[in-house]
A = this chain, B = another copy of it.
Amino acid sequence: MAILLFAFLASVLALLYAAIQSFFVLREKDGNEKMQSIAKAIREGSNAFIKREYKTVFVLAFVIAVIVALVLPHGLVLALGFAIGAIGSALAGYIGMMVSVRANVKVAKKAEKGMHEAFRLAFKGGSVTGFAIVGFALVSLTLFYYAFGNPDLMFGFMFGASLISLFARVGGGIYTKGADVGADLVGKVGLNLPEDDPRNPAVIADNVGDNVGDCAGMGADLYETYVVTIISAMALAFALNLGQAFIVLPLAIGGMAAIATLIGTFFVKLSKNKTYIMGALYKGLVATTLISIIGFYFLTYYMMHSLALFYASIMGLVVMAVMVIVTEYYTGSKAKAVRKIAESSNAGAGVTIISGLGYALRSSFIPMLVIIAVILSSYYAVGGSLSLNNFGLGVYGIAITAVSMLSVAGMILSIDAFGPITDNAGGIAEMSNLPKSVRDITDPLDAVGNTTKAVTKTYAIGSAAIASLSLFAAYKANLTDMLGSLFIQQFQIFNPLVLAGLFVGATLPFLFTSFLTNSVGVAADGIVQEVKRQVKEIKGLLTGKARPLYGRCVDIVTVISLKNLVLPGLIAVLVPLAVGFILGPLALGGLLLGVILSGFALAFLMTISGAAWDNAKKYIELGNYGGKGSDAHKAAVVGDTVGDALKDTAGPAINPLIKVENTVSLLFLALIVMYHLL
């Protein structure tokens, strides 16, 4: 009870902080009329997309909620949870976006005053997103558990959150890269309109994309990962009968880390030597991590009397650190891989792609080794130490590792949401013809955004891997409750049903991302056709005398994104149900594991290659290998285009895919088992 109160108060504190920060952001100045009109166009486009996306998605969600309510035991509570999770996830995305589309123009304005001021405001904007999301997640989790007192009744909550986050990731992902690639291509199909040029009709759609993809998509994604991770740990403690303290520990860790994050924000400071912006952000992350460790020590040792759990919680922070380091190693703006890829661009676009794939293919190996080391050590430390060598308990250690990794999501999100704000600020500065001194401030801020985005993605996929293992353990625990431990012994890798499920699961991320990748091409083509049409039909557009119809481009990508969101969404929900009902719970268990196994490596391949190509292009633009406009640069641009689709659409969607597979399976497990027993 005291712990619940603690978690509740911490979440209220986080929400308060978000409100205060948002107050400070909103009272900043908006800049001149031109800037405001551009910002307004971006804001309207983003709102229009989100409204239509949510309308589409909520129809589907409503149908599912009704099915859940009617078909499942405790259906009403599960449906209520589903609704809360879905709304929470949607809200998380929406808040992030709302702040971003307001802060962008203010940062552009602030950049007139200097780097320090612009940086501070942009981070303030990012932290609103971070704290709002973590605060909302924690407060709703705490209240829901307080109201119903049974983690198993929270499976609907999980599923709602992951389903919406999947749609937000897919829809936003197709939108953002369809618009981005389309806007880029416009220059190449003979129209000669640069990316951020106000005469380019796709320019607003492109800026809208940053907000709906990187803000709304990422916000929904991390909200969901946070919620799912905590619930799965609670459900595991419940299924293993570990007692109340173990059930609420994940909430306490979340609360503790929220406080640590709040303190950590004060450490985010640009030093006098202004060049290392990334360092200023990392300072906040390091501070948050250290304070969290101290907090976790008190929670686990004094409260739970177990240093083993403390150890497990530290492991989560270790995984986070490794993900950051590996991402920097392969994609940092001065990384060896990035420089090699840039160098290979001299031999043409083909070699750029080959070289980038070469590095990205290996990027998952070290993270994988770290994850298994952490799994094994958390498992044996907790399973071997807590009361009577209960190795069944080892999985709870893994779950706590996942919770601890996710607990600092507030800081990661603050850093991440910083990116699209500065990206937009740069675009607004360009389009409003602000003096070059302003771009000199926003450009380096924007460049950092590239790395922070990549870091957040590998953080998300790393946490998804561990979190889904604790979901997987919850699946096992629940199935044991239903069918007994003798049945569970059939979960052998030699069992043909398990094998079949593993095969389906391992192939699923490939199938799923296939549709996303193709949709980017379709959306980009839609943009190109529309721009061609406008150039032809609107007189004076190319000379800047007539205003292009920005809204039409926004509409077109919106429609294409929403149309192409349905099929992958259905695949994600229906494949596990089909496997469960046709082949049974053994195959379904295999599927859940298979998705993680190949999804992990595939997500790294896509995320890392994209970020590395992006920074290789930027490296050339700094003047290396002939600089902008050289043949090497043209080759690097091709790499960047391919990378856009992989790193911002296909790759990040694997994360919610993995979670949706797990949550839909947990939710419908009872029904599947009943079906097979009949």
Contacts and interface: CB of A to CB of B under 8 A. Distances in A.
A23 to B, nearest CB: 43
B361 A511 contact: yes
Interface stretch (A65-73, A124-132, A399-407, A493-501): A493-501
17 contacts: A347-B521, A348-B638, A350-B637, A351-B521, A357-B646, A358-B515, A360-B514, A362-B514, A376-B497, A380-B496, A489-B492, A492-B493, A493-B502, A493-B593, A499-B593, A503-B600, A598-B598
A542 interface: no
Given A371-B503, A511-B365, A528 B347 contact: yes
A358 B358 CA distance: 19
Interface string A654-665: 000000000000
A645 B354 contact: yes
B521 A354 contact: yes
B521 A362 contact: no
A492 B349 CA distance: 46
A517 interface: yes
A344 interface: yes
Interface stretch (A25-33, A181-189, A249-257): A181-189
Given A518-B358, A597-B597, A499 B372 contact: yes
A589 interface: yes
Contacts of A511: 361-362, 364-365
Contacts of A640: 350
Interface string A470-507: 00110010000000000011011110111110111011
Contacts of A473: 494
A327 to B, nearest CB: 16
Contact of A510 (B361, B492, B498): B361
Nearest to A469: B499
A379 B495 CA distance: 10
Contacts of A395: 494
Nearest to A379: B496
Given A350-B181, A354-B641, A597 B362 contact: no
A152 B223 CA distance: 54
Given A354-B645, A492-B493, 15 more contacts: A181-B354, A185-B347, A350-B642, A351-B641, A354-B520, A358-B518, A362-B511, A365-B511, A379-B496, A488-B494, A489-B489, A491-B493, A492-B492, A506-B600, A598-B601
Nearest to A394: B496
Contacts of A376: 496-497, 500
Contacts of A605: 510
Contacts of A248: none
B344 A521 contact: yes
A155 to B, nearest CB: 19
B372 A503 contact: yes
Contacts of A637: 350
Interface in A354-405: 354-355, 357-362, 364-365, 368-369, 371-372, 375-376, 379-380, 394-395, 398
A483 to B, nearest CB: 14
Contact of A506 (B359, B598, B638): B598
A348 B518 contact: no
A312 interface: no
Given A348-B638, A491-B494, A496-B394, A601 B510 contact: yes
Nearest to A639: B350
Contacts of A476: 494
A349 B349 contact: yes
A594 interface: yes
A640 B348 CA distance: 12
Contacts of A189: 347
Nearest to A509: B601
Interface of A: 181, 185, 188-189, 344, 347-351, 353-355, 357-362, 364-365, 368-369, 371-372, 375-376, 379-380, 394-395, 398, 469, 472-473, 476, 488-489, 491-494, 496-500, 502-504, 506-507, 510-511, 513-515, 517-518, 520-521, 524-525, 528, 589-590, 593-594, 597-598, 600-601, 604-605, 637-642, 645-646
Nearest to A377: B496
Q: How many copies does the complex hold?
A: 2
A89 B428 CA distance: 64
B351 A181 contact: yes
A502 B513 CA distance: 22
Contact of A507 (B358, B375, B600): B600
B349 A589 contact: no
A507 B185 contact: no
Nearest to A501: B372
A42 to B, nearest CB: 25
A328 to B, nearest CB: 19
B504 A355 contact: no
Contacts of A590: 493
B494 A493 contact: no
Contacts of A597: 502-503, 506, 594, 597-598
B493 A493 contact: yes
A593 B594 CA distance: 10
Contacts of A598: 506, 597-598, 601
A646 B360 CA distance: 14
A616 to B, nearest CB: 13
A493 B372 contact: no
Contacts of A507: 364-365, 368, 600-601
User: Among the interface residues A189, A379, A507, A638, which one has the most CB atoms of the partner chain B within 10 A?
Assistant: A507
A510 B520 CA distance: 24
A338 to B, nearest CB: 14
A558 B295 CA distance: 59
A372 B498 CA distance: 11
A344 B522 CA distance: 9
Contacts of A357: 517, 642, 646
A350 B368 CA distance: 30
Nearest to A398: B496
A586 to B, nearest CB: 10
A636 to B, nearest CB: 11
A188 B352 CA distance: 14
Contacts of A528: 347
Given A354-B645, A491-B492, A368 B518 contact: no
